[in-house]
Structure 1
Amino acid sequence: MADNGADFMRSMSIATSGLRAQAGRMRVISENIANADSTAQTSGGEPYRRKVPSFSSALDRALDAKVVTLGRVKPDMSSFRVKYEPSNPAADASGNVKYPNVNSLVEMTDMREAQRSYEANVNIISATRRMIQRTLDILKS
């Protein structure tokens, strides 16, 4: 029975790490979406640069299980969008304004994927809790 308890804990720990990682990913995506149309603070300056989250795995020694963590959040080095808007305070000497390299459609697709992964981990936790409850009910009878 001790092995089952460890298996339940391992399942919960792995799913919980997935929840944390996906929540962090959603925070990064939300920041990207919130800044999609921002411009630089100074004339000719650089606007917000899209951020890209990464994941890494770590060994939880107590449970002897690999768990996922939100890794480094790196800047997306792709080109900024440029629009000719000479009256914009952020315009450079040529009248061009740089806008963030954020594509809202890509961000919304990434957000939906992160939400689905989050929901899958919630379902794993719920199923594990139900199995624990059933095990306890069997032991009581």
Structure 2
Amino acid sequence: MSLVNIFDVAGSGMNAQTVRLNTTASNLANAQTASSSIDQVYRNRQPVFAQMQQQAMDQGSWGQEDGFGWEDEASGRGVQVLGIVESDSPLERRFEPDHPQADEEGYVFYPNVNPVEEMTNMISASRSFQMNVEVMNNAKQMVQRVLTLGQ
């Protein structure tokens, strides 16, 4: 892996963590939204990530030597967001007959969002984003030092 590829890897990681943070924020914002119908209830959403191969990132250097002189065909070169999926865990059904959105039986449906789990995801995504920023800063400093070697 060349030093320049580090920017691509860290950038894709930052993009993935941004999607994760936005999804978590959406889950937390809708954690207490009530509905009278099970079909209209907000469901917990989570992003799905996959390893991005070198071929997908630079279209054509698959199997070539990396910057250190060895071939690196199978290693990933970043992360991509495959999509966002809804959780199929059961929804919360509460008996609240005085609630304006209660159904005929007096039940209100709430999302299957666990705020503690979402806050943990938010902290983890934030720290991962920060680590990718640090990787980019360190790589930038290394490139700057390499450029000054010839002076």
- TM-score normalised by the shorter chain: which range applies? 0.7 to 0.9
1:15 correspondence with 2:26: no
CA distance in 1, matches of 2:22, 2:42: 15
Counting only pairs closer than 5 Å after superposition, residues 39-50 of structure 1 correspond to structure 2 as: 39-40=34-35, 43-45=36-38, 46-50=40-44
TM-score with structure 1 setting the length? 0.87
TM-score with structure 2 setting the length? 0.81
1:122 correspondence with 2:133: yes
Identity across aligned pairs (percent)? Answer: 32
- The alignment of Structure 1 onto Structure 2 pairs a total of residues equal to 133
Where does the alignment leave 5 or more consecutive residues of structure 1 unmatched? 1-5
**Structure 2 residue matching 1:48: 3-state secondary structure:** coil
CA distance in 2, matches of 1:102, 1:119: 25
CA contact (8 A) 1:44 1:92 kept: yes
> Among residues 82, 85, 93, which one is paired with 1:82 in the alignment?
93
Counting only pairs closer than 5 Å after superposition, residues 68-79 of structure 1 correspond to structure 2 as: 68-79=79-90
Dislocated runs of 4+, deviation >4 Å: 62-65
1:52 correspondence with 2:46: yes
**Structure 2 residue matching 1:68: 3-state secondary structure:** strand
* 2:68 alignment counterpart: none
* 1:24 alignment counterpart: 19
CA distance in 2, matches of 1:19, 1:91: 42
Once the 2 structures are TM-superposed, how far is the Cα of residue 89 of structure 1 from its aligned partner?
A: 2.0
Give the RMSD, CA atoms, in angstroms.
1.6
Once the 2 structures are TM-superposed, how far is the Cα of residue 108 of structure 1 from its aligned partner?
A: 0.2
Structure number with higher relative contact order (C-alpha < 8 Å, ≥ 6 residues apart): 2
Once the 2 structures are TM-superposed, how far is the Cα of residue 47 of structure 1 from its aligned partner?
A: 1.4
